[in-house]
Amino acid sequence: MDLLKLHDFIGARVFVTVAGNRLLSGTLVASDCELNLLLDNVEETTSETRRRLGLVSVPENTIESIKLHESALNSILKRKQTLLRDIV
């Protein structure tokens, strides 16, 4: 995983838990240096509801965890490895 830069995660579907028992899943479209994330096509899941929110800014101080599907992470890794090999 050390191979991966922040850039490599752009476009990935991420799962972010934020304060107040909320899980957001969305496509990572941007991040700044403070890890304030900008997610698109966000779906919010709480104990009561599951709903779509569209484009959402997730400030770093609200983030409890950021997760990816193992398969998604693997494919990012594979892409990166191929890229690096091609450069060499």
Partner 1 sequence: MASLEDNIGALSISDKLVDVTNHLKTLARHLQSESIIKAPQFDLFEGTHSLEINNTKLDSSLLKLSVDELNFDCQTSYGESDEEKVAFVTAIADRLCRSIMVWLNDYQTLPTTVLSCRYVEDMMYSFTEDPTSDLSTCRLKTGHEIYDQVLVSCILTTCYFVKVVQTLFKAGVVFEEEDLNCNTMGLNMLSTVALTTVTSHAENSLKLLRNKYPNAHQLALILQLLDSLARIHDLIPVDQTDSAADNRGTLEVLIRCAKQLKELPATTIKVPNGSFSPGIQKRLSNQFPPRAIVEPRGNEYDAFITMAEDILKVLEVDAANSVVEINQFAFFFNRSRQRHVVARALFPLYLMRDDQMILDKFTFNDFSKQHFMEFSLCGTQLATSLRIQPQDSPLVVKFESFMQEVSAVLFEWYQNASQNTCRYRQGYNRQLLLWDSLQAQIEVFEMELESQGIKDELGEESTLLPLTTWVYFMKLTAMMEFVLKGFELDVYKPWEFYTMYWYSYYLAQHLENNLQRVQRHLEQRIAVIQAMNKKLKKLKAGAKKDSLRSSYRWCMDHEMPQLRSNFKYVEYLLKKCTLSKTLALVEVFHFAIIKSIGVIDNRDLSSSRFSSPELVHKLRFKTFSSIGIPELPSYSAFQNSLNEFMIQEPMFTVKFQRSVEFIQSELAKAKAAVDFISNAIRQGEDKDHELITGTHLVKDQALEYYESILKSIEALKSNTNSLHDQIGSKSPNSFTSYKIRVQTAPQACSYYPLLTLQKK
Partner 2 sequence: MDVRYRQLNISDNNELRHVQRLIDADLSEPYSVYVYRYFLNQWPELCYLAFKGDDTTPIGCVVCKSEQHRGARLRGYIGMLAVAKEHRKKGIAKRLVTIAIEHMQKTGCDEVMLETEVENVAALRLYEGLGFIRLKRMFRYYLNQGDAFKLILPLTERSCTRSTFLLQPETELA
Judged by the rule CB under 8 A, the positions of this chain that interact with partner 1 are 1, 4-7, 9-11, 14-15, 18-25, 29-35, 38, 44-71, 73
- Pick from 60, 59, 29: which is nearest to 42 by CA? 29
CA distance 61 to 87: 37
CB of 37 to partner 2, least distance (A): 10
Q: Which stretch binds partner 2 (CB under 8 A): 32-40, 43-51, 65-73, 77-85?
A: 32-40
Q: What are the beta bridge partners of residue 62?
A: none
Q: Closer to partner 2 at the Cβ: 17 or 31?
A: 31
CB of 12 to partner 1, least distance (A): 9
Find all residues with CB under 8 Å of 39, minimum gap 6, and list them: 14, 16, 24, 26, 27, 28, 29, 55, 56, 58
Give the footprint of partner 2 on this chain (CB under 8 A). Answer: 30, 32-34, 36, 38, 57, 59
